[in-house]
Structure 1
Amino acid sequence: MECAGLGRCKIALSFAIICDLLGLVILMIGIFAKLKLNGQDFGDLLIYSGSILVFISLVGWVFWYTGNIEISLEELQQDYKAKTGTLARLARKISTRFSTAPRKNVNVKERKKLENIYSTHTDLPAGTSTPLQEVTLS
């Protein structure tokens, strides 16, 4: 029996519905039933358990919803083209700076090369050290 109206991800949908129904039943039992065992009331436990199950069902609903999003092939191809705008150039520039930033485990050749780059910057206040001067070689 095929249910075409439910879309894809039927497992996530069934998980969400089962958690919702079970959580609501447990929640209603905790609210309206007077459950006492050995003099202790278990209504609060059922109320919290039902609420947690309803909250967990949100995971199933999100998976079901995102699994049913349809994107055309043209939209996918547009998203994966190389960007040429100013913002894209700025993002690439920042990314390359972060990827070439000095690290604590820098060998001697790389350290000297980076020291030459940092020594060309004269905008540092007197007496301050560059990040490379704080790195200790092991």
Structure 2
Amino acid sequence: MTFRGLGRCKFALWFAVALDVIGLVALLVGIFANLQRAGRDYGDMLIYTGAIVVFVSLIGWVFWYTGNIEISWEELASDYQPKAGRLHRIVRTLSRSISMRNKDGRSSKLDLALGIGELSGKGEGGQPKEVQTNREGTQVPSSME
């Protein structure tokens, strides 16, 4: 017996269905069964557990649904081409400068030596920034504005 209408990601589908069945059974047993032991009612525990299991089954449903989305190769290729706008250039430059920084928020010494760090740019009016070296050997701008 084969099921043809299930699409891809059958494991996620069966995972979600199994959790739904288990959660629903626990929920209904907690509601309708009289589960008492030593004077304590355990129905509430099954109600909450069943509801949580049904909620967790949503993970399987989301995986199954997203795994069955079909995108043509042409549409996929058109979405991942580099953009040529001014905003994209600014964002790309900002992203590169952030990714080159250390955890301290400063450019590394290699970046400064190669001239790609934050101190290698131009100052106001397009004039080159003046750079001095401090006692630790790190380059710092001569005038902090």
Give TM-score, length-normalised by structure 2: 0.71
Q: Which has the higher contact order (CA 8 A, sep 6+)?
A: 1
Is 1:50 matched with 2:21? no
In structure 1, runs of 5+ residues without a counterpart are: 122-132
Specify whether residues 75 and 48 from structure 1 end up closer, same or farther in structure 2 by C-alpha distance, changes over 3 A only.
same
Q: Deviation of residue 119 (structure 1)?
A: 9.4
Which residue in 2 is equivalent to 1:110? Answer: 112
Q: Deviation of residue 27 (structure 1)?
A: 0.5
Which residue in 1 is equivalent to 2:130? Answer: none
- Alignment partners' CA distance in 1, 2:64 and 2:111: 53
Asked if the contact 2:112–2:120 (Cα under 8 Å) also holds between the matched residues in 1, the reply is no
- Alignment partners' CA distance in 1, 2:109 and 2:20: 58
Which residue in 1 is equivalent to 2:13? Answer: 13
CA RMSD of aligned residues (A): 3.1
In structure 2, runs of 5+ residues without a counterpart are: 125-133, 139-145
Q: Runs in 1 of length 4+ with deviation above 4 angstroms? A: 113-119
- Alignment partners' CA distance in 2, 1:96 and 1:24: 50
Tell me how many residue pairs correspond in the alignment. Answer: 125
- Alignment partners' CA distance in 2, 1:97 and 1:109: 10
Asked if the contact 2:112–2:119 (Cα under 8 Å) also holds between the matched residues in 1, the reply is no
Write the letter of the residue equivalent to 1:22. Answer: I
Which residue in 2 is equivalent to 1:37? Answer: 37
Specify whether residues 97 and 15 from structure 1 end up closer, same or farther in structure 2 by C-alpha distance, changes over 3 A only.
same
Write the letter of the residue equivalent to 2:41. Answer: D
- Alignment partners' CA distance in 1, 2:77 and 2:51: 42
How big is each residue's C-alpha offset from its partner over 1:58-82, in whole Å with a ceiling of 9 and x where there is no partner?
0100010011000001011111211
Which residue in 2 is equivalent to 1:27? Answer: 27
Specify whether residues 37 and 119 from structure 1 end up closer, same or farther in structure 2 by C-alpha distance, changes over 3 A only.
same
Specify whether residues 97 and 22 from structure 1 end up closer, same or farther in structure 2 by C-alpha distance, changes over 3 A only.
same
Which residue in 1 is equivalent to 2:70? Answer: 70
Specify whether residues 109 and 95 from structure 1 end up closer, same or farther in structure 2 by C-alpha distance, changes over 3 A only.
closer
